[in-house]
């Protein structure tokens, strides 16, 4: 699981890079709820909304851990389809769970993502000389889509690309991220599978309940 923080950090840095480019032109942001309904339009709206919110937070000298935590819960978590992400991470174990147990695993997934996000977000600053693009040629298969986000940091002459995976139920939400061919949910899957094989589902669920 040690790779997860680095993948998430790459994602968050991408969000902030996107925000710096977008914020100079379009902050305050347009809510994804009223943005266009294509995956690309939603990715642009989601990333812009997230970063504009954090730029506003930092500009008010209120970038504390607590305020960052609250904003993460408000501005990042709602854009993630936790149910589908958790189903992918649990794989074959998902069908063995009842509805209550599924919610317990969803909560654990949410807490895991929050714990990885908040420390990074609270330390972020402003960067300059960055070029960013959201690829308009997205891939879509029924209610699933993949959108490529690329950035280039001129001072270091380096480029980075991530792929956001989205699912549409009542609206498009992110359920996974690929960075350098690594998927967050594939890594989470390995982690959950290992814990379940060592402890069993019932014992693992009890540990999750004890932590809450």
pTM score above 0.85 = no
Peptide bond into 28 cis (omega under 30): yes
DSSP state of 129: S
Give the other-Cβ count within 10 Å of 50's Cβ: 24
Residue 184 has pLDDT above 80, yes or no: yes
Parallel, antiparallel, or unpaired: how do β-strands 144-153 and 130-134 relate? Answer: antiparallel
Nearest partner of 39 among 161, 135, 183, judged by Cα: 135
Nearest partner of 111 among 82, 91, 84, judged by Cα: 82
Please tell me the chain's helix, strand, coil percentages from 3-state DSSP, rounded to the nearest 5: 60, 20, 20
For residue range 16-67, list pLDDT tens digits in order.
444 444 544 556 667 888 888 899 999 888 877 777 777 777 676 666 778 8
Average pLDDT over residues 174-202: 90
Tokens of 162: 């991530």
Q: For residues 165 and 175, what is the distance between their CA atoms, to the nearest angstrom?
A: 6
Least confident of 61-70, 133-142, 185-194: 61-70
Query: Of 8 and 29, which is predicted with more confidence?
Result: 29
CATH superfamily of the 4-211 domain: Tgt2/MlaC (3.10.450.710)
Element (H, E) at 146: strand 144-153
Angle between the 4-26 and 99-123 helix axes, to the nearest 10 degrees? 70
Beta strand spans in 55-205 (E): 130-134, 139-141, 144-153, 158-168, 172-179, 182-183
For residue range 86-112, list pLDDT tens digits in order.
999 999 999 999 999 999 999 999 888
- For the purposes of burial, counting CB atoms within 10 Å of the CB of 145, is it exposed (0-12), middle (13-18) or buried (19 or more)? buried
């Amino acid at each position: 699981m040690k790779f997860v923080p680095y993948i998430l950090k790459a994602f968050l840095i991408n969000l902030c890079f996107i925000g710096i480019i977008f914020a100079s032109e379009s902050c305050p942001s347009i809510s994804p709820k009223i943005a266009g309904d294509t995956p690309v339009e939603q990715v642009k709206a989601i990333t812009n909304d997230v970063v504009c919110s954090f730029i506003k937070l930092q500009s008010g000298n209120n970038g504390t851990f607590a305020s960052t935590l609250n904003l993460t819960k408000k501005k990042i978590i709602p854009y993630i389809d936790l149910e589908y992400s958790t189903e992918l991470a649990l794989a074959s174990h998902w069908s063995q769970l009842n509805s209550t147990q599924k919610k317990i695993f969803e909560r654990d997934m949410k807490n895991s993502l929050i714990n990885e996000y908040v420390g990074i977000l609270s330390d972020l600053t402003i960067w300059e000389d960055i070029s960013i693009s959201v690829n308009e040629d997205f891939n879509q298969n029924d209610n699933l889509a993949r959108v490529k986000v690329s950035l280039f940091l001129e001072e270091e002459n380096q480029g980075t690309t991530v792929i956001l995976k989205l699912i549409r139920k009542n609206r498009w939400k992110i359920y996974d991220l690929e960075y350098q061919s690594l998927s967050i949910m594939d890594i989470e899957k390995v982690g959950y599978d290992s814990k379940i094989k060592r402890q069993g589902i019932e014992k693992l669920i009890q540990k999750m309940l004890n932590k809450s």
